[in-house]
Chains A and B, each alone.
Chain A
Amino acid sequence: MSTATDTRPTDRALLPLTGAKLPRWAPALVLALAAATAGLLALTLGWGPVGTAFVAVLLFGLALPAWSLAVENRRAATDRFVTSLVWGAFLLALIPLVSLTWTVVSNGAPAFSAEFFTFSMRNVVGEGGGIYHAIIGTLIITGIAALMSVPIGLMTAIYLVEYGAGKRVARSINFLVDVMTGIPSIVAGLFAYALFLIFFGPGVRMGFAGSVALSVLMVPVVVRSCEEMLKLVPNDLREASYALGVPKWRTIVKVVLPTAMAGIITGVMLAVARVAGETAPLLIIAGATDSVNFNPFDERMMTLPVFAYYSYTQPGVPPGPGLERAWGAALILIIIVMALNLLGRALGHLFAPKTGR
């Protein structure tokens, strides 16, 4: 390394703070060139669009860092290379999302009509009818599931973070929560069925049992997200509260929970969104029906995922209207989940600790 030691003093003396940089439009230019090259190759060799895009991205990912290496320096070249990788991964991940959204919206939107939202499927053959009963079912069943799992999950998280640290009970709870996270949803449904079988005999179907099954799936998610949020609350705040002579439980209720509230709400909303689309357990225990049922403790209750499933697998004759209703139900489900997420974010913002002046 004699050259390095030789040049260092002069380097130091010059102290270069500036260096050659690629122009700002360089990435755009390279992208255009890469796309053009790939396009030409595709025309001559007859590739499909996927192959062309792949080659274009590949060219871009190689050419831009190479150019950067020639003009700028190693670090800038690495930066550009990793940046293109990240963008590539992002776009790749976007493809299924956009495609899915597009498919559901284009297939489902035509089903929307006033009747679609306000009628059940009672006595409907072929065209007409609606998903009113399924919307009601989904809202009631998920709502009850949330009412049951949020207190359980939140209190478990509070125990784990505030009281359990290092205790054996806490470790076993942690293990059980991990196990619960891994329960397949169909098993949750079977569990609820087996549980209600004891009290109501074979063939039991009720919305409430569906809520129980969903709770089994939801509790671990709520525990984990609330736990993370509570852990984020700085210990300084707890100590500040203790030092004022505030008992532990009041500290938790009045200092820790409000500080973590934004994250907790977001976490709960995500958990709700996650179970709202569950099909398998509801198929088993909530059943399917064509009528509106407001009573979760009696008889079958339709839900959106189950509705979509049945309308798609048994669309009836002719199949057209049934298929259209299935897509419509799927779209509504996505919209409901989306709305819940947005609501969660809005509430999160509302409750977030403010630092502004």
Chain B
Amino acid sequence: MAKSIDVSDLDIYYGDFKAVEDVTMTIPARSVTAFIGPSGCGKSTLLRSLNRMHEVIPGARVEGKVVIGGQSLYDADVDPVEVRRQVGMVFQRPNPFPTMSIYGNVLAGNRLNSRRMKRSEADDIVERALRGANLWTEVKDRLTKPGAGLSGGQQQRLCIARAIAVEPQVLLMDEPCSALDPISTSAIEDLIHELKSEYTIVIVTHNMQQAARVSEDTAFFNLAGAGLPGRLVEMDSTKKIFSVPEDPSTEAYISGRFG
């Protein structure tokens, strides 16, 4: 049950600082959308506003509209907790729970919400999620060991497993592969290919090839200048963005001639 996301006239603030300005875009359901753009242009910020994680930061606020599957996220009566249950997220930095085992980390979304389940059901979820994140073979013999004892890349895959274990309808991934080797990266990309038949996926990446490989649509963000808010320059099908982009700055960024 994937859902499309409609963003309109979205301004995002950190206190008085406007980080992202006037974004209007439509992210289609059951497909992969890539966010690209230079560092600091607000990709993570926009991503976090899609599951109401932005407001967790003190002083941070959002103006504008985000509609997921016909439901406006920022309506007064919307429960952010419910939103986050349906819109999962993988962070830029791996953040496994240090008090939990690998097994516990994968099940965290279920356990922390006190969902009761049978042992066999839990085992199934863990195995499926870990296989999905290409981590199963590496950790299947030490599921009870602490999650913090894994390598950085393994931790990131553990976090991906944790996010897909709760089967969200939308999955937001903030540079999920930036700490991964090519093999794991390709496993994650395979996973993204698999997941997109059921989920709506948004992925932030600095890797142009990756954006070209995995995404159907690409949105390019840029900063007008230092201290100015980031804005959406253009969004189109990935094919078009990577071959005949409309904006010259998009072309410059993609071809590496960015100044």
Q: With contacts A250-B112, A353-B146, A354-B149 known, is A259 near B99, CB below 8 A?
A: yes
- Say yes or no for B259: interface residue by CB 8 A criterion: no
Residue of A nearest to B83 (CB): A245
- Say yes or no for A243: interface residue by CB 8 A criterion: yes
Q: With contacts A165-B58, A254-B112, A255-B112 known, is A243 near B145, CB below 8 A?
A: no
**Scoring B residues 83 to 125 as 1 if CB is less than 8 Å from chain A, else 0, what string do you get?**
1111011010101111100000000110111100000000000
| B137 CB → nearest A CB, Å | 16
Q: With contacts A237-B98, A239-B53, A353-B98 known, is A244 near B112, CB below 8 A?
A: yes
| A127 CB → nearest B CB, Å | 55
CB-defined contacts of A354 to chain B, threshold 8 Å: 98, 146, 148-149
Size class of the B contact interface (CB-based, 8 Å): 20 to 34
| B173 CB → nearest A CB, Å | 11
Interchain CB contact under 8 A, A246 and B95: no
CB-defined contacts of B111 to chain A, threshold 8 Å: 254
| B31 CB → nearest A CB, Å | 22
Which of A166, A234, A355 contacts B95, CB < 8 Å?
A: A234
Residue of A nearest to B95 (CB): A236
- Say yes or no for B159: interface residue by CB 8 A criterion: yes
Interchain CB contact under 8 A, B88 and A244: yes
- Say yes or no for A195: interface residue by CB 8 A criterion: no
Which of B81, B91, B114, B148 contacts A355, CB < 8 Å?
A: B148
**Scoring B residues 135 to 170 as 1 if CB is less than 8 Å from chain A, else 0, what string do you get?**
000000010011011000000000100110010000
Which of A165, A243, A251 contacts B88, CB < 8 Å?
A: A243
Residue of A nearest to B80 (CB): A242
Residue of A nearest to B105 (CB): A240
Which of B51, B88, B99 contacts A258, CB < 8 Å?
A: B99
| B176 CB → nearest A CB, Å | 13
| B101 CB → nearest A CB, Å | 9
- Say yes or no for B76: interface residue by CB 8 A criterion: no
Cα A243 to Cα B84 with chains together (Å): 5
| B54 CB → nearest A CB, Å | 11
A-B contact pairs, 26 of them (CB 8 A): A237-B95, A239-B53, A239-B95, A240-B95, A240-B108, A240-B159, A241-B97, A241-B112, A242-B84, A244-B85, A244-B108, A244-B109, A244-B162, A245-B82, A245-B83, A245-B84, A250-B112, A251-B112, A259-B98, A353-B99, A353-B146, A354-B98, A354-B148, A355-B148, A356-B149, A357-B149
